[in-house]
Homo-oligomer: A and B are copies of this chain.
Amino acid sequence: MTDSNILTQIDAHIQQNTDYWLAQLARLCAQPSISAQNIGIQETAELVATLLREQGYHAEIMPSDGYPVIYGEGGAGEKTLLLYLHYDVQPPEPLELWESPPFEMTRRGDLFYARGISDDKGHIISRLAALAAVRDVLGELPCRVKFIIEGEEEVGSPNMPTFIWQHKEKLAADACIWEFGGVDYNGTPMQSLGMRGICYTELSVQTATMDAHSGLGGSIFPNAAWRLVWALNSLKDENEHILIPGFYENVRLPSALDLELLAKLPDYAAQLKQNYGLASFLKGIAGGLELKQTAVFAPTCTICGLTAGYQGAGVKTVLPAKASAKVDFRLVPDQSPEEIATKLRAHLDTQGFNDVEVKLLGGGRPAKVPPDHPFVQLANETAVAVYGKEPLVEPMVGGSGPNYPFIHVLGLPVVSAGIGYPGSQVHAPNENMRLDYYLLGTRHTAYIIEGFARMA
């Protein structure tokens, strides 16, 4: 049981050191680190290592197959907590929509604006502030802490799985706090326990060395756009059934506990319909548990883009030599992107589409933490203590991220905690952080660290 006096002191420490940490955040936000454009990567890696060293951590900049990763270490004790974060940010464009310079932290009321301030530089600072509070109040850190702060999260973390495999021993730990976390529209804390995997492919066809006039070739030349349409049509029928043989073979159904958690989540059906102007959801689903379950526990086959021939205004009578589609499969446990890419290729060959080339542009496996894991319970209980309400626990979310190697290679329970809120405009102009959610997220992180050290 935690001495409530300790938590009170932690709260006070965080509150009292707000200005110091906001100054560190301003310093970090002033350094651009745009992974998609290879801007400021090395400089930011060095600054992050410096910030860690200033707090007394050992820090090293480790090479990866892509941009460098900062590894940090400190504290002592039998148990080790791993903190996964990233120092890269999304491109700031369109610049004209920013109300203040994206790489100059600007305060307006209790909102702080900068590119990356929420995603993910504010989280780096919040973790350091939480650790400093726990350390100063207890006299020393009650556990070992490891940092892994990567520079490619905003471009899909392509090298994280390999990096983790290669440094499995060094990264060994007992639990992990993920790079994000925060509250929903009502200020209720959110806990996300799993993410779908992804198999992102590009299907392309080339039927000739150049486009032809449609009057010349229409009756006799193969047409790349038609080949593509027929190939795509073979992947999924109008009832949303994916037709690739074996596609559903490794799909694990949600557990009773997963469904129980889904049932407790708010029903966003009406809000989604309104936000996106939808007439209805697929397969006649109205909302409720069926919608929540389908949204995250069903694998998908989504056409993300189509391109062929003439796409301008009016008429151009051209017969396209090339056509391509981006197709994204969201995967659920225990599917894998390699498995799906192999089955896709075999299916196209069987259907006579040997002319359709498949490129695997990105992949990641699905992974989830059991909702009844003690570390998850700790994160939930501390959320109640900080936010004054039960967190909404999502057993799985529809998106994807590199959580698989943390959960299944390092074998860690992974929880989210942090400073995010729905108005933070991540990836958009005027990305921002709210002071109250910064303080709450930092306290939550500190409470998890303090509690983790005492966990059985």
Q: What residues of chain A have their CB less than 8 Å away from a CB belonging to chain B? A: 156, 196, 198, 200, 207-210, 212-223, 225-226, 228-230, 232-233, 236, 238, 272, 276-282, 285, 291, 294-296, 298-300, 302-311, 314-321, 323, 325-326, 328, 330, 352, 361-362, 397-400
Contact = CB atoms under 8 A, between A and B. Distances in A.
A377 to B, nearest CB: 27
Q: Tell me how many chains of this kind the complex includes.
A: 2
Contacts of A311: 305-307, 326
B302 A223 contact: yes
Given A200-B315, A278-B207, A309 B330 contact: no
A82 B358 CA distance: 56
B317 A304 contact: yes
Contact of A215 (B272, B315, B398): B398
Contacts of A228: 306
Contact of A214 (B213, B276, B314, B330): B330
Nearest to A293: B219
Given A156-B315, A209-B277, A302 B218 contact: yes
Given A207-B279, A217-B302, 14 more contacts: A156-B315, A209-B277, A214-B302, A215-B398, A219-B398, A220-B282, A222-B280, A229-B303, A305-B309, A305-B311, A306-B306, A306-B311, A307-B308, A309-B326
Contact of A397 (B208, B215, B307, B328): B215
A210 B213 CA distance: 34
Contacts of A212: 276
Given A232-B229, A304-B319, A218 B330 contact: yes
B330 A221 contact: no
Contact of A361 (B214, B298, B309, B315): B315
Contacts of A398: 213, 215-219
A7 to B, nearest CB: 36
A295 B220 contact: yes
A288 to B, nearest CB: 12
Contacts of A305: 225, 308-311, 316, 318, 320
Contact of A310 (B291, B304, B323): B304
